[in-house]
Structure 1
Amino acid sequence: MVRWFHWFMVLRVHCCLLENAIGKAQELLALRNHRKERVVVIPAEMSLT
């Protein structure tokens, strides 16, 4: 019983770590996409002015 509980906690910790890693990866991707959009937007503004 104790062993099962131990493995359950280990699994929970790994799931949390995975969720954090996925969240960070998504944030990094969003930042990259945002930068790309900025890079695309700036020349458009320059061409207007």
Structure 2
Amino acid sequence: MLRKFLRDDSAATAIEYSLIAGFIALAIIAAVEMTGERLLALLESLLDALTR
């Protein structure tokens, strides 16, 4: 039973997939945040141009 437990690598695979998913989520959050800041700046400049 101990040998079977030591040879079982399904938990390691699950951990690897969860780490990959976590890094992908962080990349998506960073991309959305940067895009949101750019969009806000664009809208503010458009508002300034329209109110002149």
**TM-score, structure 1 normalization:** 0.84
Quick check: which has more Rg, 1 or 2?
Answer: 2
The residue identity in structure 1 corresponding to 2:26 is: K
What is the DSSP-based 3-state SS (H/G/I as helix, E as strand, rest coil) of the residue aligned with 2:18? helix
Correspondence for 2:6: 3
What is the rounded CA distance, in whole Å, between the counterparts of 1:4 and 1:35 in structure 2?
A: 49
% same residue? 10
Give the number of aligned pairs. 48
**TM-score, structure 2 normalization:** 0.80
Correspondence for 2:31: 29
**Segments ≥4 residues shifted beyond 4 Å:** none
The residue identity in structure 2 corresponding to 1:2 is: F
Aligned residues: CA RMSD: 1.1
